[in-house]
Structure 1
Amino acid sequence: MKLELGNFYVKDIVFGTRTAYADGILTINKEEALAVVKEDEHITEADFVIVKPGDMVRLVPVKEAIEPRHRIGGGSIFPGVTGDLMQAGNGRTLALKDCSVLVVGKHWGGFQDGLIDMGGEGAKYTYYSQLKNIVLVADTDEEFERYEQQKKNHALRWAGMRLAEYIGSCVKDMEPETIEIYELAPVTKRTVEENTLPNVVLVLQPQSQMEELGYNDLVYGWDCNRMVPTFMHPNEVLDGAMISGSFMPCSSKWSTYDFQNFPMIKRLYQEHGKTINFLGVIMSNLNVALEQKNRAALFVAQMAKSLGADAAVVAEEGYGNPDADFIACIVALEDAGVKTIGLTNECTGRDGASQPLVTLDAKADAIVSCGNVSEMIILPPMETVIGELQALARDGLSGGWSNDAILGPSVREDGSIIMENNAMFCGDQVVGWSTKTMVEF
């Protein structure tokens, strides 16, 4: 498979009479974009706001992030989701870089939603404060889940994907400013030089715990709860085969933007043919029952060994119950003779003193920590709030609360907030671009 990602680098975003890109300026026709959003009759209110790094703006509840793209030669940028099923990872896809489409609820949030500060102290906690963002602020008539803590957010998330396709299409007839090429030969047809290097496989465990459909990550539109570990080409992940789900404490979540730009995949590509032979991706899952977890771990280990893997990197989306899948997978790989590194965040409590993972094993002796989900964060009032600040306290966001006997409410009367890192939108970045570092005292 050979994937060409043609990049256009967005320096600024403005509203105008037509949706177009020129000289680094992305112009959006607001009325046309709203018409795309409102193709779903469940969208009752919608508007757009443009936010940029350094703006004193707080966004909450944030539900999704997507990179605007266009697939050359036809087909949707999310096969099996926004268009017909087709192979992802081949050909040329155009991408508008340094920007994203953010989807924000106008009122109602839930367990899986988060917060972004574009400026001030809070900006350092999430990657998305570094991007120019087209923010879709919308509400729906999905009354059946309005008061549910866990929401599918279907209408809003799908509206964001349609919007990303609409915006991305403005560069369809243009030559990209740079081109990234991602190409791997079939595993059995690598060069002699590649085959002399250590064989490395990346194991991804996307969120798939919910047995009811509609909450989990999707692979080509297929709910990951219904899959068994599957060997995938890394290009498929980078090219729209994976869609973020709506269930996961937000700092642990992998957004669709994260899948489209997966830094760990790109880093392994950089080392391919130099220090490693990058075999590809084993897409696993996160299960509920212990037997299911152990079965998936055995599948992964067998697949890695059959591929000839000498080493593996395992990354989990989430914490708590998924820790059992994560550790079981690492142990099974180690037992198969595959040296394994794990990527995960931790839940060590607000004081940092609790056991970091629900389950541990002596064989899991090489783990990269991406931060503590329970770390307390206190932020001052923000000049502008997009969405509804009270959602952080009222609607069960995983890092917020309506009232605490000692700390009081997450949202204080002056607009300042106290919350756990849990509520930072995709804040831990297990995918590989976390800005956090470890300090030893």
Structure 2
Amino acid sequence: MKLELGNFYVEEIVFGEKTSFKDGVLTINKQEALDYVMEDENITHAELHIVKPGDMVRLCPVKEAIEPRIKLDGRTYFPGVTDEELTRCGEGRTHALKGCSVLVVGKHWGGFQDGLIDMGGEGAKYTYYSTLKNIVLVGDTNEDFEKNEQQKKNKTLRWAGHKLAEYIGKTVKDMEPQEIETYELEPVTQRNDEVTKLPGVVFVMQPQSQMEELGYNDLVYGWDMNRMVPTFMHPNEVLDGAIISGSFMPCSSKWSTYDFQNFPALKRLYAEHGKTVNFLGVIMSNLNVALQQKQRSALFVAQMAKTLGAQGAIVAEEGYGNPDADFIACIVALENEGIKTVGLTNECTGRDGFSQPLVTLDEKANAIVSCGNVSELIELPPMPVVLGELEALARDGLSGGWAGDEILGSSVKADGSVIMENNAMFCGDQVVGWSTKTMKEF
């Protein structure tokens, strides 16, 4: 399977008369874009903003991030989501607008799964999305049934973001890209001796899929991942729109759709393929609730890895707490098959850093990369501009925010300053590979 990504590097984003891309400038006709978004009758309010790195702007509650892209052959970019037609992702030519994203922000209402981004100041270092130029869709919907729920599906706004990203991606459909990245893996059984003599490695992904009620979990080809067992996938599918982010997990643990589209760990394995490793592909697992479900997934993963001839594996977990049981079970099952395994996850060591990092541990899980402590306290000064509603951080049960604490008070202070846990930082732990955090020994 061969995927070509044609990249167009965005140097500036402006509003103007015609939605277009020229000489590094992405121009968006604001009214036409809003009219397109408002075609969904469930959206009651929508506005568009442009923010760039260094802007003293705070966004909250942030729900999703997507890179604008378009398929050149006319197929929908997110099959099963932006179109009911199912077509295979990961092959052909896709054009992408690089260095920017579409961010989806609630006008008022947030929830457990939503987060915060500071584009400038002290808070900018906590999230990758402060480094991008962002088209910000701020919206509200008629989904009154969940406005006061701590856990929200956010379907209408998330879908609007996906459609808007594809709409903006059309600007470069018929243009010649500045750069073409090619992603191609030979069939596993048809690789030459120079490749097969290298250690075979699989990448095991555990996207968030714990909600038994449909609508909250990550989707693969539009299918709720709670309803699947581990499956062997081509990495190109992940990088090319097969998976969209869900709306259920503490926000610093979240993998946005942008993360799936650009998954750095997958790209690094591609770069090492044929040099230091034989990259066999992706085992797409999931995260479960019941113990037997967790054990079943671990058995599937280990069997597939062994059958593929893997000698090494990397396991990445989206979430923490209960999912740690899936994460550790998977690592142990792989190690029991003689497959050397590295884990990628964040940890929950409490505000003082002294608690057990994962809910469950095992001596065979002896090579885990930590991407940060979800409970770390972060204090941020007021921002002159807020897009969305900052009070949502405290009022609506965002992970990492609170309405009242007997010592710390509310997360949101009267002057607009904030004290919160890292949990509330949008995609802050970046288990996918963006993370710049380091460990120190004392």
- Please confirm whether the aligned pair reaches a TM-score higher than 0.5, indicating the same fold: yes
RMSD: 0.4
Compute the TM-score of the two structures, normalised by the length of structure 1: 1.00
Q: Secondary structure at the match of 1:157?
A: helix
2:35 maps to what in 1? 35
1:264 maps to what in 2? 265
| Post-superposition offset of 1:406 | 0.5
Greater displacement, 390-399 / 35-44: 35-44
Match status 1:18 vs 2:18: yes
2:168 maps to what in 1? 167
The residue type paired with residue 132 of structure 1 is: K
1:94-133 aligned at under 5 Å gives the runs: 94-133=95-134
1:358 maps to what in 2? 359
Match status 1:144 vs 2:162: no
The residue type paired with residue 310 of structure 1 is: Q
The residue type paired with residue 425 of structure 1 is: F
1:71 maps to what in 2? 71
Deviations 1:310-337 (A, max 9, x none): 0000000000000000000000000011
| Post-superposition offset of 1:81 | 1.0
CA distance in 2 between counterparts of 1:328 and 1:233 reads 23
**Percent of matched pairs sharing the same residue:** 79
| Post-superposition offset of 1:203 | 0.1
The residue type paired with residue 165 of structure 1 is: E
| Post-superposition offset of 1:409 | 0.4
CA distance in 1 between counterparts of 2:340 and 2:129 reads 33
| Post-superposition offset of 1:383 | 1.1
| Post-superposition offset of 1:39 | 1.6
Q: Secondary structure at the match of 2:120?
A: coil
CA distance in 2 between counterparts of 1:6 and 1:147 reads 42
Hey, which bits of structure 1, 4+ residues long, moved more than 4 A?
Answer: none
CA distance in 2 between counterparts of 1:104 and 1:367 reads 33
1:41-56 aligned at under 5 Å gives the runs: 41-56=41-56
2:413 maps to what in 1? 412
The residue type paired with residue 87 of structure 2 is: M
CA distance in 2 between counterparts of 1:246 and 1:319 reads 15
In 2, are the aligned partners of 1:376 and 1:420 still within 8 Å (CA)?
Answer: yes
The residue type paired with residue 116 of structure 2 is: L
Structure 1, gaps ≥5 residues long: none
Deviations 1:254-292 (A, max 9, x none): 000000000000000000000000000000000000000
CA distance in 1 between counterparts of 2:5 and 2:28 reads 22
CA distance in 2 between counterparts of 1:40 and 1:279 reads 41
2:221 maps to what in 1? 220
Q: Secondary structure at the match of 1:231?
A: strand
Q: Secondary structure at the match of 2:301?
A: helix
Greater displacement, 291-300 / 74-83: 74-83
In 2, are the aligned partners of 1:36 and 1:159 still within 8 Å (CA)?
Answer: no
| Post-superposition offset of 1:243 | 0.5
Deviations 1:171-230 (A, max 9, x none): 111010000000001100011100000000000000000000000000000000000000
1:376 maps to what in 2? 377
CA distance in 2 between counterparts of 1:438 and 1:56 reads 29
How many residues align? The count is 441
In 2, are the aligned partners of 1:64 and 1:157 still within 8 Å (CA)?
Answer: yes
In 2, are the aligned partners of 1:6 and 1:93 still within 8 Å (CA)?
Answer: yes
CA distance in 2 between counterparts of 1:251 and 1:37 reads 27
Deviations 1:387-426 (A, max 9, x none): 0010000000001000100000000111100000000000
Match status 1:236 vs 2:234: no
| Post-superposition offset of 1:239 | 0.3
The residue type paired with residue 269 of structure 1 is: Y
In 2, are the aligned partners of 1:200 and 1:278 still within 8 Å (CA)?
Answer: yes
CA distance in 2 between counterparts of 1:80 and 1:182 reads 23
Q: Secondary structure at the match of 1:36?
A: helix
1:193 maps to what in 2? 194
Q: Secondary structure at the match of 2:65?
A: strand
| Post-superposition offset of 1:439 | 1.6
| Post-superposition offset of 1:365 | 0.0
The residue type paired with residue 367 of structure 1 is: I
The residue type paired with residue 96 of structure 1 is: L
The residue type paired with residue 249 of structure 1 is: P
1:395 maps to what in 2? 396
In 2, are the aligned partners of 1:253 and 1:425 still within 8 Å (CA)?
Answer: yes
CA distance in 2 between counterparts of 1:42 and 1:204 reads 33
Q: Secondary structure at the match of 1:371?
A: strand
Q: Secondary structure at the match of 1:328?
A: helix
Q: Secondary structure at the match of 1:149?
A: coil
The residue type paired with residue 382 of structure 1 is: M
Q: Secondary structure at the match of 1:175?
A: coil
CA distance in 2 between counterparts of 1:239 and 1:189 reads 24
CA distance in 1 between counterparts of 2:54 and 2:31 reads 27
CA distance in 2 between counterparts of 1:37 and 1:60 reads 20
CA distance in 2 between counterparts of 1:64 and 1:219 reads 16
| Post-superposition offset of 1:435 | 1.2
Deviations 1:126-179 (A, max 9, x none): 000000000000000100000000000000000000100000001111010000
| Post-superposition offset of 1:36 | 1.6
